[in-house]
A and B are shown apart, each in its own frame.
Chain A
Amino acid sequence: MSNKKLYRGSLSTIILKLLGDNGRMYGYEITQKVKVLTEGELQITEGALYPALHKLEGDGYLKVEFEQVNNRMRKYYSLTEDGTTEVASKLSEMEQFIQTMQQLINPKLA
């Protein structure tokens, strides 16, 4: 995908936002949800998703729980209290970024 690099820096924000909206999710569910919400425009690869999830978990923004599903265990992620605060902060940063980009790209509209 050509605009992959543009999305790369926003992966944590996307994950935190999705978990904020959906409560708890597992890895594959996150990839599929992003695909559906963006109508296939953005596809998160597993090679990028899981390191990001583990980093957020390590930073204390996510907590995990395992649940038996069919013949296997499923690892669910949900936000911690710090994670909930971080979502608001990341979204605010993102809005600021979009606004700044808008000013640069289309000064008349801004």
Chain B
Amino acid sequence: MQKQLNQLEIDQILDFLKRHKVPYFDVQLELVDHFASAIESNWETYPNHWSFEQKILSVYNEIGPKGFTKIIGEKGRGLLQKANRFAFNLLKDSLRIPQIIVTLACIYFLHQGFLTMENPAHLFAKGLGIPMVFLIISSALCYGYYYWRYKQRILALEQGISLYMLVPNTLMLPVYWIDKANFHFSSEMYLLFSVMIFVQIIYCTGLLVVVRKVFLESKSQYAHLAKN
């Protein structure tokens, strides 16, 4: 009968992968199984005096000269692709007639509101402050939920981070620039700001919805793996 690795040996493989900076939880699981299967299948071929660590190294050497670099890189690219797809779908979904009507109506009211504001500087604080507070709270919630509660890193966390990277700091750059230049605010400029801030808030809200959805999907997929 083929030898089966015990829990201690499985943990040793997992430690080895962590030492080699394999960050993704599902890749760790996959590689642990790969290493364990290879060692179990070839148990007879290893010299008796080899330690278990040497057996692990022997499997590692078969992976290729670049070690785990290619595996991790491809995984990261895949996650980013997925995050971009989510973001794209989010934008695509918001381009429907009811959403467009509501968006235009909100922009109009924001615009009118800004026109009556005495100090335009408040605009910057609100434009920057709301999304930032929103991001910090939602990131902390997401991180806490999956990292502290389950003590495991999950795909969705990376997806979430990738999505947050897309959060429109770029949208805020023109605001900073104009603010620094002490630009005179025309009615058109207020309209532009109204659009930018509204898009930013809608986008951030949408991100939270999407990220929550991804987390819930991942939770059902990985929950049974993460209980420890």
Chain A interface (Cβ < 8 Å from any Cβ of B)? 26-29, 32, 45-48, 50-52, 54-55, 57-58, 64, 66, 69-75
Query: Which listed residue, B5, B10, B71, touches A46 by the CB 8 Å rule?
Result: B71
The answer on a CB contact under 8 Å between B4 and A70 is: yes
Given A50-B74, A71-B6, A73-B29, the answer on whether A58 and B82 have CB atoms closer than 8 Å is yes
Given A51-B73, A57-B78, the answer on whether A27 and B34 have CB atoms closer than 8 Å is yes
- Residue on B with the closest CB to A69? B33
The CA of A66 and the CA of B4, in the complex, are separated in Å by: 19
Chain B: number of interface residues, binned into ranges: 35 or more
The answer on a CB contact under 8 Å between A26 and B78 is: no
Q: Does B62 contact A (CB under 8 A)?
A: yes
A contact face: mostly helix, strand, loop, or mixed = helix
The answer on a CB contact under 8 Å between B78 and A55 is: yes
The 21 sampled A-B contact pairs (Cβ below 8 Å) are: A26-B37, A28-B37, A28-B38, A32-B41, A45-B62, A46-B62, A46-B64, A47-B67, A47-B68, A48-B70, A50-B30, A50-B31, A54-B27, A54-B74, A58-B79, A58-B82, A64-B26, A66-B225, A70-B5, A75-B29, A75-B30
Residues in B neighbouring A27, C-beta threshold 8 A: 30, 33-34
The answer on a CB contact under 8 Å between B33 and A28 is: yes
The answer on a CB contact under 8 Å between A54 and B33 is: no
Chain B 65-84 residues near chain A, CB threshold 8 A: 66-68, 70-71, 73-75, 77-79, 81-82
Q: Does B17 contact A (CB under 8 A)?
A: no
Closest Cβ of chain B to A63, distance in Å, is 11
What are the 4 closest A-B residue pairs judged by CB atoms, nearest first?
Answer: A47-B64, A51-B74, A58-B78, A28-B37
Residues in B neighbouring A58, C-beta threshold 8 A: 77-79, 81-82
Residues in A neighbouring B75, C-beta threshold 8 A: 51, 54
The answer on a CB contact under 8 Å between B70 and A47 is: yes
Given A26-B33, A72-B33, A75-B29, the answer on whether A47 and B66 have CB atoms closer than 8 Å is yes
The answer on a CB contact under 8 Å between A72 and B34 is: no
The answer on a CB contact under 8 Å between B78 and A75 is: no
Residues in B neighbouring A29, C-beta threshold 8 A: 37
Complex interface bits, B19-53 against A, C-beta within 8 A gives 1, otherwise 0: 00000001101111110111001000000000000
Given A47-B70, A50-B27, the answer on whether A71 and B10 have CB atoms closer than 8 Å is yes
